Structure 1
Amino acid sequence: MSGTAVVRAADSERDQRRAAAALRDAGLRPGDRVLVSAASSPALLAVVLGALRTGVVPVLLDPALPAAERAALAEDADPGLDLHDDPASLLAGRDEAALADVPLARPMHYTSGTTGRRKGVWSGLLAEDDARALAAEEIDLWGFGPADRHLVLSQLHHSAPLRFAVHTLLAGGEVLLPGPFDAARAAAAISTLHPTTTFCVPTHLQRLVARADVDWSSFRRLVHAGAPCPEPLKRAVLAALPPGSVWEFYGSTEAQFTVCPPGEWLAHPGSVGRARPGRRLETDDRGQLWCALPPWARFEYWRAPEKTAAAWREDRVTVGDLGRVDDDGVVWLDGRREDLVISGGVNVYPAEVEAVLDAHPGVAESAVVGMPDAEWGQRVVAAYVGTADPAELAGWARERLAPAKRPKSLHPVQELPRTSTGKVRRLDLPAVLGLADPRRAGSGGGGHA
């Protein structure tokens, strides 16, 4: 298809060796950092892999960042080389350097910043055994091989899209880069280039499943994550794609926690599956999820020892998500601690309310936020995309939710505010709806209700 770059493993390997030589000649050594903020391209992939396979850590920033924010993150990352938006500059020479057969480090990404200041996620250099285990885990889990054609739908400065593309190339497959996401362009790429795998977020799925011109038959694995997938959308995707192909996982910029094959989800609708191999998930008395990670998956927050210490308990880590692990080891998410709404002393998890609203046939997706309330401390407010009448939707919620959990107001909107990774920015909802800032509400205490 015109406009889609096809990255072949052999061609990329040559460029990776050239990138590695250029980094060496620029004085970078294992453990040093190279900063790049560029759109997805074959050159970006070559620089990332050329760096990783020589122990240089690529730091990837969103090319759309405002100049002041980019400058602050660049100063924080303290790179040995800043490529800005020009990774291809490293590929101009003819010299080539030797590469390890697996990455010797993980890229450094900054958390997407749904709340608070972004944090750099740093793993440093990996021991050889850990490096091999990390690469094998990704390749084996998703079954990447030389016959794969991986379609990139999200920008490569995000951790999951980059991880899928990198390991496809390491396994000898091809990567398809159609450019910034556009539903028509993505549909054409799927139907004409016949990808076998892709990673996407529910927003992509929502826009693609609604189209009649997508031929999904080539997929052996479509993997989604990044935000909760409404149950009606998930069922529509399962019906549209080849049996067994729609997988899900729960993870974060920091680490990967669960995997959920389609049969697992159908047996436990709304869950995010079970712990990935080598991991164990449990909750504390606040309902916060903790995961024991293998050595190759561990990390720290860059130059933030106090944040690192708060996130870890021995070999277990939390990213602040709330949920539960049932007796069968199936993991269910309730949201994030900072999203929790406490109304009249009752803990209200936005994800639970959203699941009820999303089940209404006239709702495509919804988002819930807590607003200050003089009587109850906070009240539940919901925004939704869809055709449902607010009064009818309120009745639907009244039949299915306890009083404290029912939205006190329901607001139809054209779209929900999101981060670039597809996560709903709940803290932006009040401004979108013309309401007050929820951060002025007292967060208070209160036990689980």
Structure 2
Amino acid sequence: MSHDQAPRATTAAELRDLASAVAAGLRHRGVVEGDRVVVSLPNGIELLAAVWACVATGRVPVPLDPRLTTHERGPIVDDVAPAVVLDSLARFGELLGDDRDELDAHPRCRPMHFTSGTTGRPKGVWSGFWDAEDARAAVLEERELWGFAATDVNLVLSPLYHSAPLRFALGTALARGAVAVLPAFTPEGFCEAVERLRPTSMFCVPAHLQRLLAHLETSPAPDLSCFRLVAHAGAPCPDPVRRGAHALFGTEVVWEFYGSTEGQFTACSAPEWAEHPGTVGRARPGRVIGVDDDSELWCAVPPWGRFSYWNDPERTAQAWRDTEHGPAFTVGDLGRVDAEGYVYLDSRRTDLIISGGVNVYPAEVEAALVEVPGVVEIAVFGRTDERWGQRVVAAYVGDADEDTLREAARQRLAPPKRPKEYERVTALPRTATGKVRRTHL
């Protein structure tokens, strides 16, 4: 990483000042409470400041991957009808002036992240606005669980438009800690940042750990004693990678958790995992996890953990049910809970592909490619990949050629969603009821 690209640790005071300037800029442009603001910026402090400015003044930030194609982004923007779209650093800069607006002590809502699910239609996960008591409780829950403090330096490895890295970064800043953002993850860039910045916390996905461990087989490890918290999630973690992380950072430092864009389920320390191999931990404080007759996991949450799908009451109703512990939601994952309350995942949502920590929904990819001339039908599935966990593969019936399919994917899909392999087949394997057997593929 060249020195001009190397991240610096931005203090909470600097970040708050930048967010206050953004809030004033939004006000000058007529953006009022309740308005949506699309934030589609490169990974950096600007993205974090824009989100903080919104949630702390009653506007709703909608973080989007800047790599989304027009085909992907258009329906989302139409759905949320934003007052402003921040899709370049130049547009971000236009908001900045001498004015500063005061920020609330606690965010009034969660950012609205989009997730596709099995329908292929991305939908926003909307927390609604919190009252002062719930807003404070939401911040304190994260702070008490992860120990965010003014002495922290949070190193951001993942794209901040994802919910988990954004939660860790903003949670650190709200506790008056500093934040440093890697523009993109490389093992070399990570090692250089550790030596220079001495970070205390980070969120990562297993693919980051896998690449780091492979790099350290041939390169000296930096001094990692600065870390008090290394949290990983976002994809199943292979045991050798998990044990490698435990050895590298220390079992008192490494945690993993299980959650989704919709909400958080569990947290698990390294010693707990060693005592209960295969678990993703116990329910986070204030939550109760149970399973139904179909082994689907449901999580009862406190008021600040509730959500709806934006403009989709039907899908919202399917995700929630009343339980003796209060309203509980599901994202369709299957698992079990043992007598001590430890949760074990048996399978993720039936067709979800997790590639490098990024959720890829086959229905969304299929919808983008089924209209390609020469495609009769198409099925997308995940195949095991040593580096990324899974890679996206497409099997199709028809006489379309691979180059045409690749070009259509390039135009319509962001890079993580584009199939890495295409296989022409005479017919797709189906169940008696006509569903595609992805496991057979």
Q: Same fold (TM over 0.5)?
A: yes
Identity of aligned residues (%): 47
Equivalence for 2:124:
120
> Unaligned regions of 5+ residues in structure 1, if any?
341-349, 352-368, 370-380, 387-412
Is 1:298 the counterpart of 2:306? The answer is yes
Q: Describe the SS at the equivalent of 2:65.
A: coil
Deviations 1:357-410 (A, max 9, x none): xxxxxxxxxxxx9xxxxxxxxxxx995446xxxxxxxxxxxxxxxxxxxxxxxx
Q: Give the Cα–Cα distance (whole angstroms) in 2 for the partners of residues 135 and 230 of structure 1.
A: 31
| 1:436/1:127 CA distance change after superposition, 3 Å | farther
Q: Are the equivalent residues in 2 in contact too, given 1:48–1:58 (CA < 8 A)? A: yes
Deviations 1:145-164 (A, max 9, x none): 11111111101111111111
Equivalence for 1:107:
111
Equivalence for 1:38:
41
Equivalence for 2:221:
214
Q: Give the Cα–Cα distance (whole angstroms) in 2 for the partners of residues 304 and 26 of structure 1.
A: 29
Q: Are the equivalent residues in 2 in contact too, given 1:288–1:322 (CA < 8 A)? A: yes
Is 1:287 the counterpart of 2:282? The answer is no
Equivalence for 2:316:
308
Is 1:227 the counterpart of 2:230? The answer is no
Equivalence for 2:334:
322
Q: Give the Cα–Cα distance (whole angstroms) in 1 for the partners of residues 270 and 388 of structure 2.
A: 30
Is 1:254 the counterpart of 2:262? The answer is yes
- Residue 191 (structure 1) shift: 3.0
- Residue 265 (structure 1) shift: 0.6
Equivalence for 1:416:
390
Q: Give the Cα–Cα distance (whole angstroms) in 2 for the partners of residues 436 and 66 of structure 1.
A: 31
Q: Give the Cα–Cα distance (whole angstroms) in 2 for the partners of residues 92 and 135 of structure 1.
A: 27
Equivalence for 1:360:
none
Indicate which of 146, 152, 169 corresponds to 2:173. 169
Indicate which of 152, 157, 170 corresponds to 1:153. 157
One-letter identity of the residue aligned with 1:61: L
Indicate which of 329, 334, 359 corresponds to 2:346. 334
Deviations 1:184-217 (A, max 9, x none): 2122212332211000000000000222233222
Q: Are the equivalent residues in 2 in contact too, given 1:57–1:124 (CA < 8 A)? A: no
Q: TM-score, normalised by structure 2?
A: 0.79
Q: Give the Cα–Cα distance (whole angstroms) in 2 for the partners of residues 382 and 62 of structure 1.
A: 21
The root-mean-square deviation of aligned C-alpha atoms, in Å, is 2.8
Equivalence for 2:366:
none
**Between Structure 1 and Structure 2, how many residues are aligned?**
376
One-letter identity of the residue aligned with 1:188: E
Q: Are the equivalent residues in 2 in contact too, given 1:43–1:91 (CA < 8 A)? A: no
User: Which has the higher mean CA deviation after the structures are superposed, 89-98 or 134-143?
Assistant: 89-98
What are the within-5 Å matches in structure 2 for residues 352-367 of structure 1?
none
Q: Give the Cα–Cα distance (whole angstroms) in 2 for the partners of residues 267 and 88 of structure 1.
A: 48
Q: Give the Cα–Cα distance (whole angstroms) in 2 for the partners of residues 8 and 179 of structure 1.
A: 18
Q: Describe the SS at the equivalent of 1:417.
A: strand
Is 1:6 the counterpart of 2:9? The answer is yes
Equivalence for 1:192:
196
Deviations 1:323-360 (A, max 9, x none): 000111000001234249xxxxxxxxx99xxxxxxxxx
Q: Are the equivalent residues in 2 in contact too, given 1:219–1:242 (CA < 8 A)? A: no
Is 1:61 the counterpart of 2:61? The answer is no
Q: Give the Cα–Cα distance (whole angstroms) in 2 for the partners of residues 90 and 310 of structure 1.
A: 42
Q: Give the Cα–Cα distance (whole angstroms) in 2 for the partners of residues 7 and 148 of structure 1.
A: 11
| 1:98/1:117 CA distance change after superposition, 3 Å | same
Deviations 1:30-62 (A, max 9, x none): 221111211112222111111111111100110
Q: Which has the higher contact order (CA 8 A, sep 6+)?
A: 2
Q: Are the equivalent residues in 2 in contact too, given 1:47–1:90 (CA < 8 A)? A: no
Equivalence for 2:376:
none
- Residue 6 (structure 1) shift: 2.4
Q: Are the equivalent residues in 2 in contact too, given 1:190–1:214 (CA < 8 A)? A: no
